[in-house]
């Protein structure tokens, strides 16, 4: 299957919503994106900033995967922090996600990115997917939260 990468814009919003809401509806995420206004704000957060990089994967003329993230210009290079990465469930389990990682990495190389980074869930199938696709775990890093309410 021929795969292509393209830069996404808000013209793609409806399809992005379809992919994200279906890809993250399953365990362990169980995300509920039925509120379209909320989803639009989420996409503004991820795609609407000067340092946003929103990439799409095209297969058979259709958008089937997304990589939404932002850049950080560290002293030692540019990090592309992936905030949302997924494949349309209808296209999962065929090796497309692995090829998508490689395409995004190649895009990063062409744009002088130093590295890709992301956060995921240790119990999610995606954890093993990332390890198999060359990501390494930063074992000394910890993700902290503090509730405001």
Ligand X SMILES: CC(C)(COP(=O)(O)OP(=O)(O)OC[C@H]1O[C@@H](n2cnc3c(N)ncnc32)[C@H](O)[C@@H]1OP(=O)(O)O)[C@@H](O)C(=O)NCCC(=O)NCCS
| Residues in touch with ligand X (CB under 6 A) | 23-24, 85-87, 92-98, 118, 120, 124, 126, 128-129, 132
Dihedral of CA atoms 78, 74, 70, 33 in degrees, nearest 10, equals 130
Residue whose structure tokens are 């949302």? 84
For the bound state, the minimum distance from the C-beta of residue 149 to ligand X, rounded and expressed in Å, comes to 26
Residues 6 or more apart whose CB falls under 8 angstroms from that of 2 comprise 59
Closest CA to 16 of 104, 107, 83: 83
**Number of continuous H segments (helices) and E segments (strands) in the chain:** 4, 5
| Shortest separation between residue 87's beta carbon and ligand X, angstroms | 4
Q: Which is nearer to ligand X, 97 or 108 (CB)?
A: 97
Q: What would the two tokens of residue 96 be? A: 């497309």
Residue nearest to ligand X (CB): 97
Of the pair 47, 91, the CB lying nearest ligand X is at: 91
Q: Which two tokens stand for residue 105?
A: 């990495």
Give Rg (Cα) of the chain: 15
Nearer to ligand X, 76 or 123 (CB): 123
Give the shortest CB-48-to-ligand X separation in angstroms: 21
Q: Tell me which residue has tokens 């540019």.
A: 78
From the CB of 26, what's the least distance to ligand X, in Å?
Answer: 7
Minimum distance, C-beta of residue 75 to ligand X, in the bound complex (Å): 27
Residue with smaller CB distance to ligand X, 58 or 118 = 118
Query: Based on CB atoms, which residue is closest to ligand X, 6 or 121?
Result: 121
């Amino acid at each position: 299957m021929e795969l292509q990468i393209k830069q996404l814009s808000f013209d793609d919003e409806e399809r992005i919503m379809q992919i994200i809401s279906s890809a993250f509806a399953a365990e362990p995420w169980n995300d509920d994106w039925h509120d379209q206004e909320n989803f639009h704000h989420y996409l503004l957060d991820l795609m609407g900033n000067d340092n946003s990089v929103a990439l799409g994967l095209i297969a058979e003329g259709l958008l089937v995967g997304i990589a939404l993230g932002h850049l950080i210009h560290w002293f030692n290079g540019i990090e592309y922090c992936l905030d949302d990465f997924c494949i349309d469930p209808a296209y999962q389990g065929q090796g497309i996600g692995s090829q998508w990682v490689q395409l995004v990495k190649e895009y990063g190389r062409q744009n002088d990115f130093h590295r890709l980074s992301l956060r995921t869930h240790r119990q999610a199938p995606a954890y093993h997917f990332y390890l198999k696709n060359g990501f390494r775990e930063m074992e000394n890093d910890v993700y902290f939260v503090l509730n405001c309410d």
